[in-house]
Structures are given as C-alpha cells and as structure tokens.
Amino acid sequence: MSVAAELSAEPAGEAFVRFENVQKSYDGEILVVKDLNLDIPKGEFLTMLGPSGSGKTTSLMMLAGFEPATHGNIYLDGQSINNVPPNKRGIGMVFQNYALFPHMTVAENLAFPLHVRGLSKSEIETKVRQALEMVELPEMGGRRPAQLSGGQQQRVAVARALVFDPNLILMDEPLGALDKQLREQMQYEIKHIHENLGVTVVYVTHDQSEALTMSDRIAVFNDGVIQQLSTPDDLYERPQNSFVAQFIGENNKLHGKVTKLTDGIATVDLDGGEVVTAAAVNVVANGDRTTLSLRPERVEIEPKKSSVDNIVTGEIRELIYLGDHVRTRMSVAGNDEFIVKVPNSAGHKPLAEGAKVKVGWKAEDCRALDPLTS
C-alpha cells in the first residue's frame, strides 16, 4: 500500500472527531502542525505518537480547546468546535501531572466537575462511588492526593475525567511520571476501562511500546505531519517510510541502490557489496537510493537455504543473554550495529563472539524504503 493510500484510508465507522485541513503556527511563520486531516470514529482508542516537537501535543491541545487552530476546522460529533470554549466541549482530560486539587479529598476532586454541571447531591454521590469502583479505589474517597501513591493518583485523575460521562477523553502523556512496572500496569488498566466503557480516547505519548500496547490505531507524527496512520501490528510489520521503521520498535537498516524492480520485489546492491532482495515499498525506479528495514526477530543465523531468500556473512561482535533470547550484535553488510534476536532454545547451537556466521532473511520481511542517511 502506498503512503498516500495509508493516510487516506477511512477508519471503521463515521468520524466522531474530525480534523479538517488543520494548521497551527505560534509565530505566523513556522507551522507546528501542517494540514492535519484525521478522522476518529466513536469508541476508538487512537494514539498520537511521535518525538518531542512533532505536533502531537499541539494537535491534542487544539482538540481540547486550549490552543486555537491557525487554519482549518475541528469537528466533534459533526459540529464545529473551533469557537467553543474548553469548558463547553464536554471533554474529559487526563494530564501527566494529574492536576488534582491538593486541598480536596479524592471524593471532592471527583465531585468538582459534577458540581460545576449542577447535578444533585444524590447524583453526585452515586457517580463518585461508581467512578471510584471503576478504578478500584472504593475506600480512598476520604483521602487527599498527597496520601496516595503515584499510581493511585493517576487512577483518581482517570476517574475524574470519566465521572461526568463524557463522550471523549483526552490523555496527554498520562503515565510519564510513573516507574516502569507501574506504567505497564496502568497501560492495561486504562485499556480495559476503555474496552468496558466504549468511550472515545485520544492519547498522546512519545513511548512507542505504550502506543502499541493500548491503541486501536496509531498516528505517527513527525515535523507536524502524520507519517503513517495504522493499526499497531500494521505499523510495526509494514512501516511505510524510514522514519516510521526507525521510530517503531527495533530495526536494522542497510543502505544501497536499487538495480532491479520485478513484481513488487527490489534487487538492491548494498553499500557493502552484497546483493539482496526486498519488498519494494518506497522505491520506484532503478538507481534509487534506498534504506532497507529489517526487524531483528526476522533474521536467522545459519539458516537453511530453503527457508530464506537472502544469505550474507556477518561477524558476531557481542552476545547479551536476556533469558528468552540472546541479543546478538553483529557486523553485517557495513552495519556494525546489526541486531539478531536468537531464541533461547535447545535447537540453537552456541554462539561465540568474533565468529563469522551466515545470516539470512526472507525478501518479504525486508522493506525497501526511502533513503535514510542517519
């Protein structure tokens, strides 16, 4: 599939959130977000993923109403919200710093958005109780935020965003302040809350593993532009350009020149002198420079000729035992940081640093993309 086709592919269902030709500039000259067109159907968990400065957070802030769009329109449930103030959009927000009121108890924090909306005392008590049960903190209503752990505070922040039954939840790096183990636990909890409630979630992060774990679809941002919009598995297995291949997961890159194109397969003369074949994804003509993208788990050491399309010689530089696999750093075709993940199983022969071995892979697992110089 071409990059254009990938970006224009319609999601399942009608758009609940729509960005239409949206641009954002802070100084009137440099566009932080460039002509953003994005449809998000009701009930989807969509993640905006990218490095710092890529435009993902600015896009979220425009949707929330905290930043005005310089150009274009943003729609929520079919209605333009460009001129609707943030407090009138009916959107729940979860921030990295939790943004809980320290002088209020947990229950009072949850009740605050309900008081603002004029609900009765009995309605508020019911909704607060239900929200605390949803995030598994039914006994914590009387505590203040400072008496809670970081994970408990984040649960309260999620509960407060959900307590008034919004149709849309926005989350801006909500797990960034948590340690690794707790962050991974909260990923699953938020994912399960979304699955149970069916609420639409737009989530911003720079953590690609977090995005892969939680999302229905991921929009990868770079330089104010969506580079690819896909499901997690499609994004990982079928990156459409070199930026996405490098940003999502671990990736081996090899540089070379296309010498033949036949039925979607490119023959490539690598800079190290080897000749290999790869899926022609982002190359169009003989003579094109290309960067090949190859995942470490798709490479075999000492493969059977019948199981692969390409075999080259490499030298083992470093072996790192990681339990379920041995991370093998090699020098292959001019790349001294070529990684192979060798499964830790009885069928594999012991490896040794300094040994020269054959490595191989299938052409379909190697993607010929646009040239990447870094």
DSSP letters for 111-132: HHHHHHTT--HHHHHHHHHHHH
**335-343: strand order across its sheet:** 300-301, 356-361, 310-321, 325-332, 335-343
pLDDT at 95 over 90: no
* Mean pLDDT, range 108-118, rounded to an integer: 90
Nearest to 203 by CA among 235, 171, 179: 171
Check residue 2 and give its pLDDT. 37
pLDDT at 202 over 90: yes
pLDDT at 175 over 80: yes
Nearest to 42 by CA among 63, 20, 8, 11: 11
* Mean pLDDT, range 176-189, rounded to an integer: 85
The domains of the chain are located at: 3-242, 251-369
Write the CA distances from 150 to 95, 135, 146, integer angstroms.
13, 14, 9
d(CA 29, CA 31): 6
pLDDT at 243 over 90: yes
Contacts of 287 (CB under 8 A, 6+ apart): 257, 258, 259
pLDDT at 10 over 70: no
**79-80: strand order across its sheet:** 31-41, 15-25, 71-76, 79-80
Confidence of residue 4 (pLDDT cuts 50, 70, 90): very low
Can you point out the beta strands (E) in the chain?
15-25, 31-41, 45-49, 71-76, 79-80, 91-95, 168-172, 200-205, 217-222, 225-230, 252-262, 265-270, 275-280, 289-294, 300-301, 310-321, 325-332, 335-343, 356-361, 366-369
Per-residue pLDDT reduced to its tens digit, 249-269: 899 999 999 999 999 999 999
Class of domain 3-242: alpha beta
Class of domain 251-369: mainly beta
Confidence of residue 347 (pLDDT cuts 50, 70, 90): low
Per-residue pLDDT reduced to its tens digit, 17-46: 999 999 999 998 999 999 999 999 999 999
Write the CA distances from 374 to 3, 160, 254, 336, integer angstroms.
21, 44, 11, 14
Write the CA distances from 273 to 8, 118, 254, 278, integer angstroms.
38, 73, 11, 16
Confidence of residue 13 (pLDDT cuts 50, 70, 90): low
Per-residue pLDDT reduced to its tens digit, 293-319: 999 999 999 999 999 999 999 999 999
* Mean pLDDT, range 190-194, rounded to an integer: 90
Compute φ and ψ for 372, nearest 5 degrees.
Answer: -125, 120
pTM of the model: 0.88
Q: If you search the block for the tokens 């090899």, which residue do you land on?
A: 254
Q: Can you list the pairs that 80-89 forms with residues at least 24 positions away whose Cβ atoms lie under 8 Å?
A: 87/116, 89/64, 89/65
